[in-house]
């Protein structure tokens, strides 16, 4: 968003860059989606409620307007939000045979305020991507 010195408080309307559709697939329905998510949450040291589950409204993350004070600065600015995506394969030893599967989900989040022309000096790839998408190549 282009901001003038006189703009003061401005409202950003986040757009979706990519949608991560939570899903669980298994070779045998003896292993449920809830079991898979519970095991993954334990491995990630998270509460299962923090993981986006298949079919939940949270799978298509809601984006709310963000209102920030430009503090009299002019230029092109971006507000970015991110989640941690997880793609995993697994094997569960069940009586009589092993069950194989995969899970895709996301959790948590982060946000960043960036000004075009000002190198954010961070290593997080999502922040660099947000900068490139809005401002162009990152100058190092």
| Domains identified in the chain, total number | 1
Contacts of 90 (CB under 8 A, 6+ apart): 36, 39, 40, 100, 101, 102, 103
Would you say residue 93 lies in a domain? Answer: yes
- Separation between Cα atoms, residue 37 and residue 39, nearest integer Å: 5
Residues 47-78: tens digit of each pLDDT:
999 998 887 654 445 667 878 777 777 788 88
Would you say residue 46 lies in a domain? Answer: yes
Taking 80 as the threshold, does the pLDDT of residue 140 lie above it?
A: no
3-state SS, residue 118: coil
> The domain containing residue 56 runs over which residues?
2-135
C-alpha distance from residue 34 to each of 31, 41, 59, 125, 126 (Å): 8, 10, 15, 30, 29
Would you say residue 116 lies in a domain? Answer: yes
pLDDT score for 56:
67
Would you say residue 140 lies in a domain? Answer: no
Could you tell me which residue, 27 or 109, shows the higher pLDDT? 27
Would you say residue 33 lies in a domain? Answer: yes
Q: What is the mean pLDDT of residues 15-34?
A: 86
């Amino acid at each position: 968003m282009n901001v003038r010195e006189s703009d003061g408080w401005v409202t950003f309307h986040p757009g979706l860059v990519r949608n991560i559709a939570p899903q669980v697939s298994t070779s045998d329905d003896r292993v449920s989606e809830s079991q898979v998510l519970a095991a993954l949450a334990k491995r990630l040291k998270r509460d299962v409620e923090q993981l986006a589950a298949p079919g939940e409204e949270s799978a298509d993350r809601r984006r709310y307007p963000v209102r920030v004070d430009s503090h009299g600065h002019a230029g092109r600015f971006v507000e970015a939000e991110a989640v941690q995506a997880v793609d995993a394969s697994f094997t569960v030893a069940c009586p009589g045979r092993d069950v194989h599967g995969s899970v895709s989900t996301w959790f948590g989040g982060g946000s960043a305020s960036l000004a075009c022309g000002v190198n954010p000096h961070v290593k997080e790839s999502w922040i660099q991507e947000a900068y490139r998408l809005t401002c162009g190549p990152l100058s190092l």
